[in-house]
Amino acid sequence: MTADRENPVIRTPHGAVRGRWDRQVAVFRGIPYAAPPFGPRRFRPPAPPDPWDGVREAAAFGPTAPKPPYSEAFAQYLSDPAFPGDDCLNLNVWTPDPAPGARLPVLVWLHGGALTRGSSAVPVYDGHTFARDGVVFVSVNYRLGVEGYGLFPDAPANPGLRDQLAALRWVHEAVEAFGGDPGRVTLGGQSAGAISTGALVAAPQARGLVRRAVLQSGPPETTDRDKVRRMVRRMANRLKVPATAEAFAAVDREQLLRAQADVSRLSSPVLGGPAFGIVVDGDLVPRDPLEALTDGAAPGVELLTGWTRDEYRLWLVPGGLVERVDRLGAVALAGAMARCRCGSEVPRGYRALHPDAGTSTLVGQLVTDHLLRVPLHRLADGRGDPSYVYEFAWPSRRPGMGACHALELGFVFDSGNEPDARKLAGEGAPQELADAMHGDWVRFVTDGSPGWERWNSRHPVRIYGDGAPRTAYGPRDRELALWATPAAGEPAPATAPELRSVIRRLRRSGALRRH
């Protein structure tokens, strides 16, 4: 590094970059870790970037991956800046001490957004607070949607996940120059970023690159290959081209995004449907990541994982879906049974435990437990290495949002003063809760323990809500025990035509419209 305190210069494996000092933290933005994934590289695994001579300016965020914007209904809660350009496989580094030998812990962050939206430039993900507290923070852009997770007969699967692996390898090679310790890397993410984290921690090719992992509101999972193929076929029909990577690579990227947005409108976390996702590919993802991790695929990796109390409210509140689902009543519950592949005894059990809950609350909790809490409990139960589990329960000040999906991010990052964090949290978020939650994440990244009891047979869960954080024992055990009945996990007792009828009624009602 140069001695220039105004413009620190670091040499990376591909060339030197010049960052900026900001509030006692050195910040480097838009560093390429792979070549632009367009032209002959489109739909292909990432390739190393071309080396450069001289010093590359790293003062501004780099281009973001192609993605459709959020609809107006979601944009009032979530920000998603977009920057044009081909060189979208880039990352950012915040460090308090950009010098070899500092050996600081490292947090590599994978953004959420259903693998179709999001970027490292989302203001809530500002890495300054982690660097301020002694952590080298790295945030990553990767390919999204059909560019990153389309499944084609003539191209390798999971190029977006391969991008993330390439970024991890870059960190392993380069982070020491930024003051980081390549042997103390925590990989973390929220939602799709957490799902990606789980897949990479389980991947044999990532062995030795990750010491700890943070999975926020996303379990290790893969998507059924036929679901992804159906999404690609729908796009191909709309574009009037073959469902091949060669044909899609010849389509203008804006036209491709429009087709992707059109065919995605009826996808929903409530009842599923065609979607983009990580798939078992026999290579980077040789088997289901949850099965691999509970079979010991990542020995020695410590885990911090959890959920928000009301995850589903971000899925249902925008656009008035709560009211629509409540009106549908039994039809919506039947749709949830189909989505969760459970028998009627599961929603009956939820009703008995929560007799005053509305239909949307029951449907939302059923789907949340099926998608998140059941597999995350299984993950924590099945591993011999230390696991720590939390629940975020502080309710947003925005009407109807509760402790919804993604609300905890402003507290984990201690970025609640950002206008973008207030879009979801509202005004008056408690700083003391951010201090506590952010401090616990820093402790986990630094030494592997966030400060509460590790997971055991008593099921300790750290609750972040009103007042001081506390530990509850088995707070979701009664609900999750319902999924252990013999019928749970089996298809709901209805014929395929009946289930298709339920889904058609939900779609006609607007309850499955994607916003």
In a domain, 207, yes or no: yes
- What backbone torsions phi and psi does residue 290 show, to the nearest 5 degrees? -65, -45
Is residue 120 classed as helix, strand or coil in its secondary structure? coil
What is the mean pLDDT of the segment spanning 180-193? Answer: 98
Per residue in 55-90, pLDDT (tens digit) is: 999 999 999 999 999 989 999 999 999 999 999 999
| CA 218 to chain CA centroid, nearest Å | 6
Residues 6 or more apart from 267 whose CB is under 8 A from it? 273, 274, 275, 514
| pTM of this structure | 0.93
pLDDT confidence of residue 273: 64
pLDDT confidence of residue 344: 86
In a domain, 141, yes or no: yes
Burial of 10 (0-12, 13-18, 19+ CB in 10 A): buried
Query: Which tokens belong to 318?
Result: 């925008």
In a domain, 199, yes or no: yes
Give the whole-number percent of the chain exceeding pLDDT 70: 91
* Residues labelled as active-site residues: 191, 311, 405
In a domain, 3, yes or no: no
In a domain, 514, yes or no: no
Provide the β-strand partners of residue 18.
9, 57
Contact 490, 387 (CB under 8 A): no
What is the mean pLDDT of the segment spanning 492-505? Answer: 45
In a domain, 4, yes or no: no
Q: Nearest Cα to 462, choosing from 412, 406, 405?
A: 412
pLDDT confidence of residue 311: 96
- Kindly report the CATH number assigned to the domain that includes residue 48: 3.40.50.1820
CA angle 257, 404, 372 (to 5 degrees): 80
What is the mean pLDDT of the segment spanning 279-299? Answer: 96
Confidence check: pLDDT of 328 > 90: no
In a domain, 333, yes or no: yes
The H or E element that residue 305 is part of is: strand 302-308
Contact 50, 15 (CB under 8 A): no
Tell me which of 29-38, 47-56, 265-274 is least confident. 265-274
Confidence check: pLDDT of 357 > 80: yes
Radius of gyration of the chain (CA): 22
In a domain, 354, yes or no: yes
Tell me which of 37-41, 445-449, 494-498 is least confident. 494-498
Query: Which tokens belong to 469?
Result: 């954080």
Pairing relation of β-strands 180-190 and 302-308? unpaired
Count the domains in the chain.
Answer: 1
pLDDT confidence of residue 504: 53
Contact 50, 35 (CB under 8 A): yes
| Helical segments of 175-308, H only | 192-202, 225-239, 245-249, 253-264, 289-294
CA angle 490, 496, 499 (to 5 degrees): 85
Across the chain, what does the average pLDDT equal? 91
In which domain, by residue range, is 433 found?
9-509
Contact 82, 119 (CB under 8 A): yes
Contact 383, 294 (CB under 8 A): yes
pLDDT confidence of residue 271: 55
Query: Which tokens belong to 196?
Result: 């990606």
Is residue 361 classed as helix, strand or coil in its secondary structure? helix
pLDDT confidence of residue 332: 79
pLDDT band at residue 439 using 50, 70 and 90 as cut-offs: very high
Confidence check: pLDDT of 270 > 70: no
